[in-house]
Structure formats: C-alpha cells, structure tokens
Amino acid sequence: MGCGTVIERIVVEVDGYGGMEDITKSVAEIVRKSGKKEGVAVVFAKGSTAAITTIEFEPGLRKDLPAVLKKHVPYEFDYEHHKTWGDDNGAAHILASIVGSSITVPFKEGKLLLGTWQQIVVINFDTRKRTREVWVAVL
Ligand code: ZN
C-alpha cells in the first residue's frame, strides 16, 4: 500500500448543538495502516451540519467553543432556511460553513504533525444527536 490514495471512513455518534468528539486516534491509525511515510491526510465531515477542526480537547474548551459560536450564530433566529424546509437547524448549517467541513494535516515518518495539545475533532451542530461520517483521504 505504498502508493495510491487510501480513503477510509470514521463513524462516530456526536451530541447536537455543538457536541464534539476527538477522532485523532482514528485518523492516526488510518495513516499508519496506509503504510505511507509522508504526505497529507485530508479529513472531511460528510453532511452540511457537521464540521472538522482542531482544538485542545479538554472539558472546558469542549464547552467554550460551542458557547462562543452560539453567541455569534444563535439557534433562536428567524432563519429563511426554516421557511424553506420547515427545519429548525438554520444555525447548524451556518456554523458548519464557518468552521469548515475539512482540514488537511501533514504527516512525516508515518506520524501526524499535530501539536501535543492539538486534537482533530468532529463537531455536530445539528439540533439532535447524530451519527456522523468522517472520510479520511491519505495522499
Ligand atoms: Zn436544515
């Protein structure tokens, strides 16, 4: 498996309204299994109400990030999206767009070049608990 793109899926249950889960170990394992020594891992959240970013994954920031984001993009607002589909998750779509659906992490000697206190997280902004699908492409 030295050459060619490897694409693998991570499936994880994540709470709504900005719940987040640490997927660093799963991404590292996909890179390790690819057999590649250096390159980049593209980590992409499927779905328009999920996001991918990095953060220090500790209980305080786990609450702080969604709390601060919700001050800027409140869930209670007269979103046109709610009129379009009868949905209640206009904020979730906007937050997912702002935070972004993917990140690119380089790796060297088979190891992700992340800081010690920098974890890869998937965030579910939807208004209910969701099983989120994250795709990792190792290039
Ligand atoms: Zn929607």
Task: State the average pLDDT for the chain.
Answer: 96
Query: What span, in angstroms and rounded, lies between the C-alpha atoms of 76 and 91?
Result: 8
pLDDT at 4: 86
Closest CA relative to residue 48, chosen from 132, 116, 113, 110: 132
- The single-letter code of the amino acid at 52 is I
How much distance in Å is there from the Cα of 104 to the middle of ligand 1? 26
Kindly give the interhelix angle for 59-72 and 90-99, rounded to the nearest 10 degrees.
110
Read off the pLDDT of each residue in 55-69 and give the average, rounded to a whole number: 98
Q: Which residues surround ligand 1, an ion (CB under 5 A)?
A: 87, 89
At 85, is the pLDDT very low, low, confident or very high (cuts 50, 70, 90)?
Answer: confident
pLDDT at 72: 97
How much distance in Å is there from the Cα of 114 to the middle of ligand 1? 33
pLDDT, one tens digit per residue, over 96-132 is 999 999 999 999 999 999 999 999 999 999 999 999 9
- 1 has a pLDDT exceeding 60: no
How much distance in Å is there from the Cα of 134 to the middle of ligand 1? 19
Please state, as a whole number, how many other Cβ atoms lie within 10 Å of the Cβ of residue 124: 28
Supply angle C-alpha 87, 92, 94, rounded to 5.
Answer: 110
Domain 6-138 top-level CATH class: mainly beta
- 3 has a pLDDT exceeding 90: no
Strand (E) or helix (H) holding 31: helix 24-34
How much distance in Å is there from the Cα of 93 to the middle of ligand 1? 6
SS3 110: coil
How much distance in Å is there from the Cα of 46 to the middle of ligand 1? 14
pTM of the predicted model as reported, rounded to 2 decimal places:
0.95
How much distance in Å is there from the Cα of 1 to the middle of ligand 1? 39
Query: What span, in angstroms and rounded, lies between the C-alpha atoms of 116 and 137?
Result: 23
How much distance in Å is there from the Cα of 85 to the middle of ligand 1? 7
Task: Output 64-69 pairs: Cβ under 8 A, ≥24 positions apart.
Answer: 65/18, 65/20, 65/123, 66/17, 66/18, 66/19, 66/20, 66/123, 67/18, 69/18, 69/95, 69/98, 69/99
Domain residue limits, the chain: 6-138
